[in-house]
Amino acid sequence: MIALSKIALRTCLAALLVAPSANVVAASAALPSPTRADCDRPEWQQVLRPADPATAPAAAEAAWLDGRTLRWPGPTLSPGDRVEWVVQRPGQADEVMALQAAAADPASSRRAPHIADGPTWHVPTGLSSAMLRALHRSASHLRHVAADGTVRQRTEAQAALALDDLFGTAASDPRPLGVTLSPAAGSAARTTFRVWAPTAQRVWLCLHADTQAPARALVPMQFEPRTGLWQHTAAGRLQGQAYTYLADVAVRGTGWVRNRVTDPYATALATDSVRPVVADLDDPALMPAGWRTTPSPHGRAPHPVDMVIYELHVRDFSVSDDSVPEAHRGKYLGFTHETSRGMQHLSALSKAGLTDVHLLPVFDLATVPETGCVTPKVDPAPPDSERPQAQVMAAADRDCFNWGYDPWHFNAPEGSYAVAPDGLSRIVEFRQMVLALHRAGLRVGMDVVYNHTTASGQREKSVLDRIVPGYYQRLNARGAVETSTCCDNTATEHRMMARLMLDSLEVWARHYRIDSFRFDLMGHQPRDAMVAAQQRLRRTLGREIHFIGEGWNFGEVANNARFRQASQLELN
pLDDT tens for each residue of 429-477:
999 999 999 999 999 999 999 999 999 999 999 999 999 999 999 999 9
Confidence class for position 417, pLDDT limits 50, 70, 90: very high
Q: Which residues of 81-115 are buried (b: 16+ CB within 10 A; e: fewer)?
A: ebbbbbbbbbebbbbbbbbeebeeeeebbebbebb
Provide CB contacts within 8 A for 537, sequence distance 6+: 505, 506, 509, 545
d(Cα 510, Cα 541) in Å, to the nearest integer? 7
- Global model pTM greater than 0.85: yes
Ramachandran area for residue 91 (φ above 0: left; ψ -120 to 50: alpha; else beta) = left
Provide CB contacts within 8 A for 14, sequence distance 6+: none
d(Cα 47, Cα 83) in Å, to the nearest integer? 29
Q: Measure CA 376 to chain center.
A: 32
Pairing of the two strands 95-98 and 82-88? antiparallel
Pairing of the two strands 157-158 and 69-71? unpaired
d(Cα 320, Cα 400) in Å, to the nearest integer? 13
pLDDT tens for each residue of 146-178:
999 999 999 999 999 999 999 999 999 999 999
Confidence class for position 262, pLDDT limits 50, 70, 90: very high
Sign of CA dihedral 522, 523, 529, 532: positive
Helix axes 495-506, 527-541, angle to 10 degrees: 40
520 is catalytic: yes
- Helix-then-strand count for the chain, H and E: 12, 27
Q: Annotate 68-135 with DSSP letters as a single string.
A: SEEE--S--PPTT-EEEEEEE-TTS--EEEE-EEE---HHHHTT-TTSPS--EEE--TT--HHHHHHH
Position 323 pLDDT exceeds 90:
yes
pLDDT at 195: 98
Sign of CA dihedral 458, 459, 460, 463: negative
Catalytic residue among 414, 447, 488, 520: 520
pLDDT at 111: 82
> Helix/strand/coil (H, E, C) string of 402-444?
CCCCCEEEEEEECCCCCCCCCECHHHHHHHHHHHHHHHCCCEE
503 is catalytic: no
Q: Are the C-beta atoms of 123 and 110 separated by less than 8 Å?
A: no
Cross-strand partners of 399? 374
Q: Are the C-beta atoms of 137 and 201 separated by less than 8 Å?
A: yes
pLDDT tens for each residue of 386-395:
999 999 999 9
d(Cα 48, Cα 257) in Å, to the nearest integer? 5
pLDDT at 26: 54
Position 351 pLDDT exceeds 50:
yes
Catalytic residue among 81, 550, 556, 570: 550
pLDDT tens for each residue of 2-34:
333 333 444 344 434 433 333 444 556 899 999
Under DSSP, the state recorded for 487 is S
d(Cα 517, Cα 139) in Å, to the nearest integer? 40
pLDDT at 108: 72
pLDDT at 571: 86
| Overall average pLDDT of the 191-211 stretch | 98
pLDDT tens for each residue of 250-259:
999 999 999 9
Q: Are the C-beta atoms of 181 and 239 separated by less than 8 Å?
A: yes
Pairing of the two strands 215-220 and 202-208? antiparallel
pLDDT at 185: 78
d(Cα 395, Cα 368) in Å, to the nearest integer? 11
pLDDT at 91: 86
| Overall average pLDDT of the 254-278 stretch | 98
Q: How much of the chain is helix, strand and coil, in % rounded to 5?
A: 30, 25, 45
Pairing of the two strands 82-88 and 69-71? unpaired
Q: Are the C-beta atoms of 158 and 140 separated by less than 8 Å?
A: no
